[in-house]
Structure 1
Amino acid sequence: MTATAHAPVPHYRLAVADVIKISVWHNKRLSETVPVRPDGRISMPLIGSVLVAGHTASGVARTIKTKLAYYVRDPQVTVIVTHVVQDSYRDRIRVTGAVEHPASLRYEPGMTVLDAILDAGGVNTFAAANDTEIHRVVGHSERVIHVRLGNILSEGRLGTNYRLRPGDIITVPERLL
């Protein structure tokens, strides 16, 4: 079952450009509504910069409470997500390079490399299919996963028909002529 625009998302993790409302009970000066900056952080009085991207609202509240405890006795902190970035861009798979129709595809659970390549119209005649790569961001670094797409397409060998994750970029290079 896929989530609809109105369905609850359990354990939502904050992302860049989301907006959160931070309430510190009995302390209006520390209560504010802030966007998540491009570096995944927010700025707050007294405690400065706090990394929030990738964390839940309740986890961010605990972090802020811990940092504020140095300045405020027993702070009670609530974090509410007030605006969520459009998932339509975050939850995409991009297929680039020597394919018939380079595409940005909506991620679907269980989607594999073969699914994405077929959605992009397959490889073109210039493709170096066995040199295909998945570029995946893991934490703060990029991981490159090698895919033997030629073996998948021509021989049915599915050993590198990996399951995809939202944000993956599949690159099919052109072969040298």
Structure 2
Amino acid sequence: MTRFATFLGALAALWLVATQGVAQEYRVQPGDTLRVEVVEDQSLNRTLLVSPDGRISLPGAGALRVNGLTIEQIQRALAERLAPGFVNPPNVFVDILSLAPEDEDPVTTIFVVGEANTVGRIELEPGTTLLQAFAEFGGFTNFAATKRIQLRRGSEIYTIDYNKILDGSSRNGSVRMHEGDVIIIPQRKLFE
């Protein structure tokens, strides 16, 4: 029985060394979930999702672009950013909790509200432009205020004039759609 326990212990040690080697070489990408631990201040410990733009955010360290970095590089960068808030440089440990899911058929999901022929969630191919998105949801109803269309991207709001896109005086139709964009088509007023 002692040989079997020794064998299992050796096997576990080999697995640990092999997985740590892989984890050290792995380059973080958007969608990965990381666990950050700061030994000197446990209130900073948290689970972080790498955002679509490749960043994580930690109090005291701010937003940090981690896309393409190894775990060791992320640990060093976080320790450097947190250092001014500590007497001695903090000990920061980062682990990968889960990898980004692999999309076999990537899509960009947008949402359409208001006077469109199709409202709700719309799935587009990546790289789809605003003008192509208009075509994808079937255009506008007869009551659409096409001069006051809103494109909402996060906290930013852009006003789009469809008529200017059509006559070529606006290049807004070539704007590429992003995941989570919301297109709002208001109802026109009486003499609009």
* TM-score, with length taken from structure 1: 0.59
SS in 2 for 1:65: helix
Pick closer, same or farther for the CA change 1:160–1:64 going to 2, 3 Å. closer
| Matched-pair contact (CA < 8 Å) for 1:107–1:166 | no
Is 1:132 equivalent to 2:149 in the alignment?
Answer: yes
Amino acid at match of 1:126: F
Q: Give distance in 2, aligned partners of 1:11 and 1:23.
A: 17
Question: In the alignment, which residue of structure 2 is the partner of 1:166?
Answer: 179
Question: Pairwise CA RMSD of aligned residues?
Answer: 4.1
Is 1:113 equivalent to 2:130 in the alignment?
Answer: yes
* Post-superposition offset of 1:109: 3.0
Question: Number of matched residues?
Answer: 147
Is 1:99 equivalent to 2:116 in the alignment?
Answer: yes
Q: Give distance in 1, aligned partners of 2:61 and 2:108.
A: 25
Amino acid at match of 1:167: G
Question: In the alignment, which residue of structure 2 is the partner of 1:45?
Answer: none
* Post-superposition offset of 1:121: 2.1
Question: In the alignment, which residue of structure 1 is the partner of 2:78?
Answer: 64
* Post-superposition offset of 1:85: 7.8
SS in 2 for 1:61: helix
Pick closer, same or farther for the CA change 1:167–1:33 going to 2, 3 Å. same
Question: In the alignment, which residue of structure 2 is the partner of 1:4?
Answer: none
Amino acid at match of 2:75: A
SS in 2 for 1:101: coil
Identity %: 21
* Post-superposition offset of 1:169: 1.3
Amino acid at match of 2:180: G
Deviation string for 1:60-115 (max 9, x for gaps)?
A: 5234322258455684x453342368799x95222211101113233533211122
> Which structure 1 residue ranges, 5 or more long, are not aligned?
1-9, 43-47
Pick closer, same or farther for the CA change 1:49–1:173 going to 2, 3 Å. same
| Matched-pair contact (CA < 8 Å) for 1:19–1:82 | yes
Larger Rg: 2
Question: In the alignment, which residue of structure 1 is the partner of 2:21?
Answer: none
Question: In the alignment, which residue of structure 1 is the partner of 2:53?
Answer: none
More helix by share: 2
> Which structure 2 residue ranges, 5 or more long, are not aligned?
1-26, 50-55
Question: In the alignment, which residue of structure 2 is the partner of 1:144?
Answer: 157
SS in 2 for 1:36: strand
* TM-score, with length taken from structure 2: 0.55
Pick closer, same or farther for the CA change 1:84–1:71 going to 2, 3 Å. farther
